[in-house]
Amino acid sequence: MGKNIAVVGTGYVGLVTGVALSEIGHNVTCIDIDEKKVARMQQGESPIYEPGLDEIMKRSIEAGRLHFTTKHEEGFQGKEIAYIAVGTPEKEDGTADLRFIEAVAKDIAQNVKQDITVVTKSTVPVGTNDYVLKLVKENLAEDVSVDVVSNPEFLREGSAVYDAFNGDRIVIGASSVHAGDLLEEVNKPFGLPIFRTDVRSAEMIKYAANAFLATKIGFINEVANLCDRLEANVEDVAAGMGMDGRIGAQFLRPGHGYGGSCFPKDTSALVKLADAVGYEFDLLQAVVDGNKRQKLIMVDKAKEVIGSLKGKKIALLGLAFKPNTDDMRESPAIDISRELLLSGAEVTGYDPIAMENAPHFMPEGVDYVPSAEEALQGADAAILVTDWDEFKNLDMSVYENLMAAPLLFDGRNTYSRDVVATSNVEYYSVGRKPVNSEKKVEVR
Ligand SMILES: NC(=O)c1ccc[n+]([C@@H]2O[C@H](COP(=O)([O-])OP(=O)(O)OC[C@H]3O[C@@H](n4cnc5c(N)ncnc54)[C@H](O)[C@@H]3O)[C@@H](O)[C@H]2O)c1
Ligand SMILES: O=c1ccn([C@@H]2O[C@H](COP(=O)(O)OP(=O)(O)O[C@H]3O[C@H](CO)[C@@H](O)[C@H](O)[C@H]3O)[C@@H](O)[C@H]2O)c(=O)[nH]1
């Protein structure tokens, strides 16, 4: 039997959660304070770019199992479960900002009229669910019972819908056996492995998983930087390492640093969480620092190859933090363009999907154009920031024909060196020998 569920916050996590829960038969009302977003969703239109989302969203709306509102009172009416899926952004000092979580806890307390299980999907520091339970209980308008469940989310942007139905596990850390059983029943139709634990361990699993993945990327990036200096090929190194089942082949793709709405803020938050209990998480701090450096390796390389960047026209191919998303949060494109502009370069940017979001995140002074070809036209150099398929499919002749000098810095190892070697493009990538560097294209 479908449960009556409210989901508060309709970002990447909340909307995908609400849509997925309604798809497996629950009655879901999604609540968001952003009126424009809610108006779009009521029309069956997703406010975020996520492959496959619009389709199942429309299906659930038509089946009458998915609703959207800006009004908390209406949203919580008759619901036995309230998911919290609001943002937990990074504060200036690196800790997680729990402002939105606190507001939702109070919204729940003041509006529920029946017993409620509060489920935290947002990524929150260890101890936050205890705090949420206290906040809700202190602010209750009616005499109802409250439970909390930590149910962290592991979806990746760009494949969020796929991940919701095919994730590796569902983690449930509940404050009571009853609440844990309820969440297990809610999630059963997904048919995914369920891992039950206590609330604090569930909260820690999320941070530890993200910190471990970030560390794996950080590690291969350091190895790539070494390969670069020792003339080894990091791709072969990663492949050879990954064949060891204890290491695993995934998350060993080197590049100019990880970005996105999660790894940067969650690694900082875990370092700060450790600080708060008197523990120095030096390993993770090194990953955080290394990633900041890594974001600029292609600019450093460009300076090494070109010399001064003053007055040079540099094309950025891709602006989103990774392909298949319009999310610009912590994208390497931001640091790269800031550094290029500071060095006196003219920066032209293009992204297949993130053009609307980009100017809200990028530094002032970047020129935006509607195609890769226009970005490359007359450029002295190009930096491939995001490995979108559109760029993977670009023929080398496009660089040769359009650019003032076919000089390419590929921060994502998008092209095979063998393919580039059949062209005149001078090519630098991450942890692999350059191609055509001996030809030295003439930069004006
Ligand atoms: N984005 C991801 O890939 C991802 C994956 C796993 C976990 N997470 C975690 O999930 C949480 C949400 O991330 P996101 O990327 O979906 O966030 P987001 O910023 O995209 O969306 C948050 C939404 O909450 C809404 N909101 C804020 N306060 C509200 C309130 N009081 N009532 C109703 N709505 C409110 C905002 O308007 C916004 O639409 C974060 O803690 C994040 O770390 C994110
Ligand atoms: O081998 C790799 C894999 C990823 N990345 C980069 O790492 C970042 C994050 O990539 P990815 O993990 O695919 O994207 P997210 O959508 O940020 O997802 C991560 O963060 C989410 C939010 O917490 C978690 O739910 C997911 O499990 C976790 O993968 C991106 O900049 C990628 O370019 C690499 O540089 N090399």
pLDDT in tens, 193-227: 999 999 999 999 999 999 999 999 999 999 999 99
Residue 211 structure tokens: 């910190």
- pLDDT grade for 431, boundaries at 50, 70 and 90: very high
Residue 124 structure tokens: 């929150």
DSSP 197: E
Ligand 2 atom 7: the closest Cα is on which residue?
258
- pLDDT grade for 370, boundaries at 50, 70 and 90: very high
- pLDDT grade for 1, boundaries at 50, 70 and 90: confident
At 375 the pLDDT is 98
What is the 3-state secondary structure of 42-64? HCCCCCCCCCCHHHHHHHHHHCC
The answer on pLDDT for 236 being more than 90 is yes
User: Across the beta sheet with 313-317, what order do the strands follow?
Assistant: 367-368, 346-350, 313-317, 381-384, 407-410, 426-428
Report the candidate in 49, 112, 40 with the shortest Cα–Cα distance to residue 70. 40
Judge if the beta carbon of residue 261 lies within 6 A of ligand 1. Answer: yes
Report the candidate in 337, 156, 318, 343 with the shortest Cα–Cα distance to residue 251. 156
- pLDDT grade for 440, boundaries at 50, 70 and 90: low
Spell out the domains of the chain, with CATH numbers in brackets: 4-197 (3.40.50.720), 206-292 (1.10.1040.10), 295-428 (3.40.50.720)
Ligand having the closest approach to the CA of 328: 2
Judge if the beta carbon of residue 100 lies within 6 A of ligand 1. Answer: yes
**φ, ψ for residue 351, nearest 5 deg:** -140, 140
Task: Give 438: exposed, middle or buried? Use CB within 10 Å, 0-12, 13-18, 19+.
Answer: exposed
pLDDT tens track for 375-425? 999 999 999 999 999 999 999 999 999 999 999 999 999 999 999 999 999
Q: Which atom of ligand 2 is nearest to the CA of 327?
A: 16
pLDDT tens track for 83-97? 999 999 999 999 999
Task: Round the average pLDDT of the chain to a whole number and report it.
Answer: 97
pLDDT tens track for 244-299? 999 999 999 999 999 999 999 999 999 999 999 999 999 999 999 999 999 999 99
Helix (H), strand (E) at residue 302: helix 297-306
Catalytic residue among 136, 161, 224, 262: 262
Rg of the chain taking only CA atoms, in angstroms: 24
At 289 the pLDDT is 98
ipTM over 0.90: yes
Q: Give yes or no: 262 in active site.
A: yes
Ligand 2 atom 15: the closest Cα is on which residue?
156
The beta strand positions in 86-134, using DSSP E, are 116-120
**Cα 407 from Cα 301, distance rounded (Å):** 11
Q: Which atom of ligand 2 is nearest to the CA of 321?
A: 31
Ligand having the closest approach to the CA of 210: 2
**Cα 202 from Cα 210, distance rounded (Å):** 13
Task: Give 202: exposed, middle or buried? Use CB within 10 Å, 0-12, 13-18, 19+.
Answer: buried
Helix (H), strand (E) at residue 347: strand 346-350
The answer on pLDDT for 145 being more than 70 is yes
Coil, helix or strand at residue 40: helix
The answer on pLDDT for 444 being more than 90 is no
Judge if the beta carbon of residue 85 lies within 6 A of ligand 1. Answer: yes
Instruction: Could you list the residues known to form a binding site for substrate, using ranges.
Output: 154-157, 206, 251-255, 259, 322
At 49 the pLDDT is 86
- Percent of the chain exceeding pLDDT 90 equals 97
The answer on pLDDT for 164 being more than 90 is yes
DSSP string, 386-434: S--HHHHT--HHHHHHHSSS-EEEETT--S-HHHHHTSS-EEE-SSS--
At 322 the pLDDT is 96
**Cα 381 from Cα 442, distance rounded (Å):** 11
Judge if the beta carbon of residue 31 lies within 6 A of ligand 1. Answer: yes
Q: What's the start-to-end Cα distance of the chain, in Å?
A: 69
| Amino acid present at 25 | G
Ligand 1 atom 21: the closest Cα is on which residue?
11
At 416 the pLDDT is 97
The answer on pLDDT for 439 being more than 90 is no
At 250 the pLDDT is 97
Show the CA angle centred on residue 108, arms to residues 122 and 164, nearest 5°: 35
Average pLDDT over residues 140-157: 97
Ligand 2 atom 28: the closest Cα is on which residue?
156
Match 């048919």 to its residue by tokens. 191
* Inter-axis angle of helices 99-111 and 128-139, nearest 10: 40
**Cα 145 from Cα 377, distance rounded (Å):** 64
At 441 the pLDDT is 66
